[in-house]
Amino acid sequence: MKLDPDMSVLLDKLNDWDAAAGPQTTIEGARKRIEEMRALYFEPELLEVREVENVTIPGPAGGIPARIYRPDTEEPTRSTVLYLHGGGWVMGGLDSHESHARRVCARTGSVVVAVDYRLAPEHPFPAGYDDCLASLHWIHDTIDQLGGDASRVAVAGDSAGANLAASVALAARDAGLPLRAQLLLYVPVHLAKRYPSMDELAEGYFLRVPADEDMGAGYLEDRSLALDPRVSPIEGDLTGVAPAIVCGAECDPLRDHAPAYAAALEAAGVPVRLRISPGMLHGYWSMGVVPRANELADQLCEELAELLAPE
């Protein structure tokens, strides 16, 4: 395992900055810290799209803020992607993941709907999950207004957002909602299992996963919920879910979740593409300052576009 040279330079800066900032013990402080880190070091690449529109999606507990990105293409109908941001189920939002939604829109030619689902700990599971599932139903209900094609809908997300996307894909199958593809970026698929990479890379690789901390601690009020397929999708029956691109990052503590999920999907007869991005850290889609990160993100978008192409 070897970090990309530019990623190594960035990691040194992030570790130095984090050490100087000292320990953080509140969720408000953690949210502020990651936003400061993004602003100082990440330089995310904001690709051009034709139009961006802020909307509100009806949700189970009120309106869900969302943002629609429309591509600069001439297709009469387009593929549509529900994008779910990462942030450990407790942080992140439309602005923090603007670059992700723009990239998927620009590189796949899809309409992208990004949603600001409710965050824990203020709104623990299943609040965020319920918002994401409601958003997928809304996409299908309004597909004509979106200029989309109901047979070419995908879910995508990074980290906690990928976990939500995978869980929503299971619900879509059960509800009979057509779903063409999933793009799951550095996805955690089991919140009660500790894979080997989580010990190998527990400290010093941007994302920290100490052995004495439960993954998703702020998200779950009851740890027994970690075995619920809506929380740990690998615990569910994966038969008949949408074809998936499952991506891990080589230097990410969560790396081993990706091959585990890919193997489970394959065992269930689901078409799956496993990709491990060499030399990358967790969250690398945000790290526009690293040229190779942008290239790898574009390659994944190309693969998603292939899965979403008209039949």
Could you tell me the two tokens for 220? 């779950």
**Whole-prediction pTM value?**
0.98
Q: State the DSSP code for 50.
A: S
Among 30-34, 72-76, 209-213, 282-286, the minimum mean pLDDT is found in: 72-76
Q: Are 287 and 158 in contact (CB under 8 A)?
A: no
How much of the chain, in percent, has pLDDT values that exceed 70? Answer: 100
| Structural domain span for residue 126 | 5-308
Mean pLDDT of 72-87: 92
In this predicted structure, the answer to whether residue 26 has a pLDDT above a threshold of 80 is yes
Catalytic residue positions, numbered: 159, 252, 282
Domain total of the chain = 1
pLDDT value of position 69: 98
Q: State the DSSP code for 242.
A: P
In this predicted structure, the answer to whether residue 1 has a pLDDT above a threshold of 90 is no
| pLDDT tens-digit map of 121-178 | 999 999 999 999 999 999 999 999 999 999 999 999 999 999 999 999 999 999 999 9
Residue 240 sits in a domain of what CATH number? Answer: 3.40.50.1820
Q: How many CB atoms lie within 10 A of CB 93?
A: 18
Looking at every residue in the chain, the average pLDDT score rounds to 97
**Burial (CB count <10 Å: 0-12, 13-18, 19+), residue 196:** exposed
Q: Are 246 and 265 in contact (CB under 8 A)?
A: yes
pLDDT value of position 183: 99
pLDDT band, residue 53 (cuts 50/70/90)? very high
Contacts 24+ apart (CB under 8 A), 235-240: 235/190, 236/167, 236/170, 237/170, 237/268, 238/170, 238/264, 238/265, 238/267, 238/268, 238/270, 239/268, 239/269, 239/270, 240/173, 240/268, 240/270
Sign of the CA dihedral with 48 first, then 31, 89, and 275 last: positive
| pLDDT tens-digit map of 13-25 | 999 999 998 888 8
Could you tell me the two tokens for 310? 């008209």
CA distance linking residue 158 with residue 252, whole number of Å = 13
**Burial (CB count <10 Å: 0-12, 13-18, 19+), residue 269:** exposed
Mean pLDDT of 264-269: 99
pLDDT value of position 73: 86
Q: Are 246 and 272 in contact (CB under 8 A)?
A: yes
In this predicted structure, the answer to whether residue 76 has a pLDDT above a threshold of 80 is no
Q: Which residue type occupies 46?
A: L
pLDDT value of position 211: 87
pLDDT value of position 311: 85
Q: Look at residues 84, 117, 80 and name the one whose alpha carbon lies nearest to residue 100.
A: 84
